[in-house]
């Protein structure tokens, strides 16, 4: 079993743990939920570019003792020592945030000032049962938008993502006052509908039914053969990007259900591996990004990405 398959198995175990109502959230789950929350603050900036408009993050995490023989109430919060070991900015949290932003399409991630505070009591404005809160700000010297109100996350990070923070603006009115979690404000459109129709996958290596495929639907399946059938010959999947079932070394590394691309308005294309046999990878700026097999998170595509479906290769471009 490969390392990536082991990672996927661990993720699935965590998801099962998070689904249990009597299970305490682990520091790793909270860390992942914080990274998900950070990614939700990325905004389109036009021409398929993405930006993260903040450079100061204050993360407050709730720590409580678990149930003891003395009768201390059991909560979903981990202990302080566990949180400090996993959420230390100096021991990899900032690097993890930076890497997540780069995966989300942010070309340039400047200096990040991240502080983590372990607290013993949730603030009044937090959601009931929330385990952490992230406050996003931008230094005045950077000439950025006003600070976003804090975002509080619920006790099940893997079960439901924390709500995205709503950037404050003069005259915008109240946003979920007293809850600590505002609704995500509409992001400005990075590309119009005509531009979206011009997002394409161009074949660089391998034999396919077309030289280029336009990504026009909400979901685009990639694989070998146009239709995939089960053992009873029932069609279970249709591919829109179709590699031929040719007896070539390259095409035989493309699985029948290789991967799919999901479009999320206003202008985000995200690539997912569908438990393929030979894997799905992205070559970006000279660095290879390996997609975990079957991971539900995927990776956001950027113009110029070279995608490897097994040994077949395609170029993602937006004209």
All domains of the chain in start order, with CATH: 3-153 (3.30.2320), 193-318 (2.60.200.20)
**Dihedral angle, C-alpha 36, 259, 187, 92, nearest 10 °:** 30
pLDDT digit string (tens) for 259-292?
999 988 777 899 999 988 899 999 999 999 999 8
Distance between CA atoms of residues 318 and 118, nearest Å: 44
Distance between CA atoms of residues 168 and 152, nearest Å: 16
Select from 229, 237, 314, 311 the least CA-distant residue to 271: 314
Q: Is the dihedral of CA 282, 284, 288, 292 positive or negative?
A: negative
Residue pair 35/102 in contact (Cβ under 8 Å)? The answer is no
Determine if residue 47 is left, alpha or beta; phi over 0 gives left, psi from -120 to 50 gives alpha, anything else beta: left
Task: Indicate yes or no: pTM above 0.85.
Answer: no
- The CB density around residue 93, as the number of other CB atoms within 10 Å, is 20
pLDDT digit string (tens) for 53-80?
999 999 999 886 555 555 555 555 667 8
pLDDT digit string (tens) for 168-225?
333 322 222 222 333 333 333 334 444 455 799 999 999 999 999 999 888 999 999 9
Residue pair 183/254 in contact (Cβ under 8 Å)? The answer is no
Q: For residue 246, what are its two tokens?
A: 């040719």
Distance between CA atoms of residues 316 and 310, nearest Å: 16
Q: pLDDT band for 241, please (50, 70, 90 cuts).
A: very high
């Amino acid at each position: 079993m490969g390392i990536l398959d082991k990672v996927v198995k661990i993720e699935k175990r965590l998801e099962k743990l998070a689904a249990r109502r009597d299970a305490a959230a682990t520091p790793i789950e909270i860390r992942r939920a914080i990274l998900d929350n950070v990614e939700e603050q990325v905004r389109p900036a036009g021409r398929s570019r993405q930006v993260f408009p903040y450079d100061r993050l204050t993360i407050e995490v709730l720590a409580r003792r678990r149930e003891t023989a003395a009768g201390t109430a059991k909560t979903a919060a981990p202990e302080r020592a566990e949180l400090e070991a996993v959420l230390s900015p100096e021991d990899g949290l900032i690097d993890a945030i930076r890497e997540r932003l780069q995966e989300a399409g942010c070309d340039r991630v400047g200096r990040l000032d991240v502080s983590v505070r372990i607290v013993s009591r949730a603030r009044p404005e937090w959601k009931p049962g929330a385990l952490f809160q992230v406050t996003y700000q931008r230094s005045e010297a950077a000439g950025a938008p006003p600070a976003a109100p804090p975002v509080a996350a619920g006790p099940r990070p893997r079960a439901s993502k924390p709500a995205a923070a709503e950037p404050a603006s003069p005259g915008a009115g109240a946003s979920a006052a007293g809850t600590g979690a505002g609704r995500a404000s509409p992001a400005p459109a990075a590309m119009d509908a005509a531009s979206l129709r011009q997002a394409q996958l161009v074949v660089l290596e391998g034999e396919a039914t077309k030289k280029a495929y336009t990504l026009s639907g909400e979901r685009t399946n990639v694989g070998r053969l146009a239709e995939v059938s089960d053992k009873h010959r029932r069609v279970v999947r249709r591919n829109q990007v179709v590699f031929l079932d040719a007896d070539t070394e390259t095409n035989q590394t493309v699985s029948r259900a290789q991967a799919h691309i999901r479009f999320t308005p206003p202008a985000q294309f995200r690539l997912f591996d569908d438990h393929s046999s030979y894997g799905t990878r992205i070559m970006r700026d000279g660095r290879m990004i390996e997609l975990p097999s079957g991971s539900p998170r995927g990776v956001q595509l950027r113009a110029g990405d070279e995608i490897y479906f097994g040994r077949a290769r395609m170029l993602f471009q937006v004209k």
